[in-house]
Structure 1
Amino acid sequence: MNFFLFYMFFMGLLCLILIRKHILLCLISLEFVVLSLLLIIFIFCMNFLYSFYLYLIMMTFFVCEGALGLSILVYLIRCHGNDYLTGMFLW
């Protein structure tokens, strides 16, 4: 089970590194990495009988990160008309 979670994490990072054309695809791969980290924290809390305060705090940070990423995506689409990463660096 732990090997699967680390495999999820590294595949998400690999997708984040390789897929660099659209901001939305980068955000989706980043959320996949966040989901795998959240599962790792959940398994850690279950195995060592910790309280779930760490899990709730990290979930709050990850939700804020997702909302911030979507707001940046909406801003870039309004300003540039598309979500290409290459289009941002032309001006």
Structure 2
Amino acid sequence: MMINMIFIIFMMYLIGNMVFVSKHKHLLIVLMSLEFIVLSMFFMMLFYLNTINYNMYMLMIFLVLTVCEGVLGLSILVSMIRTHGNDYFQSFNLI
């Protein structure tokens, strides 16, 4: 049971990384894959902290930082769509 759970969490992490690397043209898909990676890390921390019988305050801090990261990503997405009209990285000029 424990090995299966670790394997599922590890596969979630790998799938999130594969989507992050392969779909790098759209900002929304990149943000979704980053949230999927963070969700798998949350599950791994939850599993680990339950295994060693540690308190869950660290998970609350992790969730707060995750929400801050998501809000920053969404604000970048909204500003990019307002200025350029879409979320393609090809139409975004850095100069």
TM-score using structure 2 length: 0.91
Identity %: 42
Distance 1:44 1:54 in 2: 12
How is 1:2-21 mapped onto 2 (pairs within 5 angstroms)?
A: 2-21=6-25
SS at match of 2:93: helix
Match of 1:59 among 55, 58, 63: 63
Equivalent AA in structure 1 for residue 11 of structure 2: Y
Distance 2:76 2:94 in 1: 18
Matched, 1:48 2:90: no
CA root-mean-square deviation: 1.1
TM-score using structure 1 length: 0.95
Q: How many pairs were matched up?
A: 91
Distance 1:26 1:16 in 2: 5
Equivalent AA in structure 2 for residue 49 of structure 1: N
Post-superposition Cα deviations, 1:12-54, rounded to whole Å, max 9, x if no partner, equal 0111000112100111111110110111111111111011011
Distance 2:89 2:43 in 1: 29
Distance 2:56 2:15 in 1: 26
Give the equivalent residue in structure 2 for 1:24: 28
Runs of 4+ with deviation above 3 angstroms: none
How far residue 89 of structure 1 moved from its aligned partner, in angstroms, is 2.8
